[in-house]
Amino acid sequence: MHAQQFVDQKTISLAPIYVLYGQESFFIQQATEKITNKIQTIDPEADEQRFDMETTPVQEAIHDAETFPFFSDHKMVIINRASFLTGQSKQEVEHDVDVLMDYVTQPTDFTTLIIIAPYEKLDQRRKIVKQLKESAQMIDCSPPNVYDMQSFIKQMADNHHLSLPQNVIDLLVERVGDHIHALQSELHKLSLYFDDRPINDEEAETLISTYAETSTYSLIDALVENRLGDALNILKELRKQNEEPIALLALVVSQVRLILQCKLLKRKGYQQQQIAKQVRVHPYAVKMAMKRERFFTEQALKSAISDAAHTDEKLKTGQLDKWLALELYLQSVATHLPKTQKNVR
């Protein structure tokens, strides 16, 4: 079961063991809170214990799970960063997984055990993973599939009693992307502002924030429209937000690479939906990239990617000030663009 389905349930029956796996921290937090709220009599200070598996052996956590609660009828033990459920071989702590295996086959009735594995996938070959799949409730906390973002945003909006126009959904995808915490924050902001009023596209556009990853869309647009000054101003705003130049360069070049992919696939006759499936990004991102590809030659895009590799080296070796190097890179991209906004091939 995916975490969103689990959280959306009105009531749940308390299971003795839960396994929360996947890389989306928002879902992990929401699912944990759903379970915690079910245990109403718990004393958080005495009968809610958390163990980090990167510093504590699992057998110590299981020993606590087998110990009677102090001030409540029930207790909760949370095991975090359970890397022994994955294919990772190097671990600083020596875990006796057999102790966990024994507990899983016969858990106590006074403890709810939550095992958190914030990783992309579990190692299905491990005995402990197979046993957990048989005995525990598995909750998938992976991020939404790129193709499901629009429907996921609608679902989140319903929880905020919001009816979003399609233009606003598209804007959220463009500006916020798949950052679930950020989406939650933006939807909360919209619900407070509009209250029971219909959502207006223009007002929503002024309210919805742009995040670092999606700021690169605006930055690329400024370059396409020969507005180098605006592109540099966007860069300055990102600097004020304490963004890391190396990460920003990677985001910019990822946009350039997507534009190049769209250009090449479009030339082969691929349509927007086909391109989205081929490169595994959201169709809306492909739609925006296809609008931009008209203003770049194939050689210009390849040169921009090559220049990015040289700039990355300068950033990492300290040959230039990081922000200066990033500014010079944007200027080099601008020089590869045609002087007029005509379609190019």
pLDDT band at 160 (very low <50, low <70, confident <90, very high): confident
* Whole-number Å distance between alpha carbons of 72 and 60: 21
| Pick from 71-80, 259-268, 283-292: least confident | 283-292
* Whole-number Å distance between alpha carbons of 340 and 345: 14
Q: Is the pLDDT confidence value at 159 over 60? A: yes
Enter the pTM of the model.
Answer: 0.62
When comparing pLDDT for 139 and 219, which is higher? 139
Strand partners for 114: 18, 78
Residue 208, amino acid: I
> Tell me: the pLDDT tens digits for 14-68?
999 999 999 888 899 989 999 988 886 666 666 789 999 999 999 999 999 999 9
pLDDT band at 289 (very low <50, low <70, confident <90, very high): confident
Task: Give the CA radius of gyration of the chain.
Answer: 25
| Pick from 42-46, 165-169, 239-243, 287-291: least confident | 42-46
Domains in the chain with CATH codes: 3-140 (3.40.50.300), 146-207 (1.10.8.60), 212-335 (1.20.272.10)
State mean pLDDT over 198-225: 78
pLDDT band at 340 (very low <50, low <70, confident <90, very high): very low
pLDDT band at 207 (very low <50, low <70, confident <90, very high): confident
> Tell me: the pLDDT tens digits for 161-187?
888 988 898 888 777 777 787 888 899
Q: For the residues of 214-261, what is the DSSP string, one character each?
A: HHHHHHHHHHHTT-HHHHHHHHHHHHHTT--HHHHHHHHHHHHHHHHH
* Whole-number Å distance between alpha carbons of 63 and 300: 62
> Tell me: the pLDDT tens digits for 111-152?
999 999 999 889 999 999 999 999 999 999 987 766 677 788
* Residue 212 pLDDT: 59
Question: In 3D, which of 220, 233, 215, 226 has the Cα closest to residue 292?
Answer: 220
| Pick from 27-36, 107-116, 212-221, 233-242: least confident | 212-221
Which three-class secondary structure state does DSSP give residue 299?
helix
Residue 9, amino acid: Q
CA torsion angle 250 245 235 173 (round to 10): 40
pLDDT band at 342 (very low <50, low <70, confident <90, very high): very low
The top-scoring range by mean pLDDT among 7-11, 59-63, 90-94, 212-216 is 59-63
Q: Is the pLDDT confidence value at 345 over 70? A: no
When comparing pLDDT for 216 and 169, which is higher? 169
Q: For the residues of 117-161, what is the DSSP string, one character each?
A: E-SS---TTSHHHHHHHHHSEEEE-PPPPGGGHHHHHHHHHHHTT
Sign of CA dihedral 229, 231, 232, 238: positive
> Tell me: the pLDDT tens digits for 263-284?
999 999 998 888 988 887 767 6
Which three-class secondary structure state does DSSP give residue 137?
strand
Spatial CB neighbours of 298, under 8 Å, sequence gap ≥ 6: 260, 263, 264
CA-CA distances (angstroms) from residue 3 to 9, 142, 158? Answer: 10, 8, 16
Question: In 3D, which of 45, 37, 47 has the Cα closest to residue 73?
Answer: 47
- Strand-strand pairing, 111-117 and 75-80: parallel
Question: In 3D, which of 45, 9, 276 has the Cα closest to residue 137?
Answer: 9
Report H helices in 268-297: 272-279, 283-293
Q: Are 223 and 336 in contact (CB under 8 A)?
A: no
Residue 271, amino acid: Q
Q: Is the pLDDT confidence value at 341 over 80? A: no
For residue 34, count CB atoms less than 10 angstroms from its CB and return exposed for 0-12, middle for 13-18, buried for 19 or more: middle
CA-CA distances (angstroms) from residue 90 to 47, 54, 95? Answer: 32, 11, 12
CA 149 to chain centre: 11
* Residue 41 pLDDT: 62
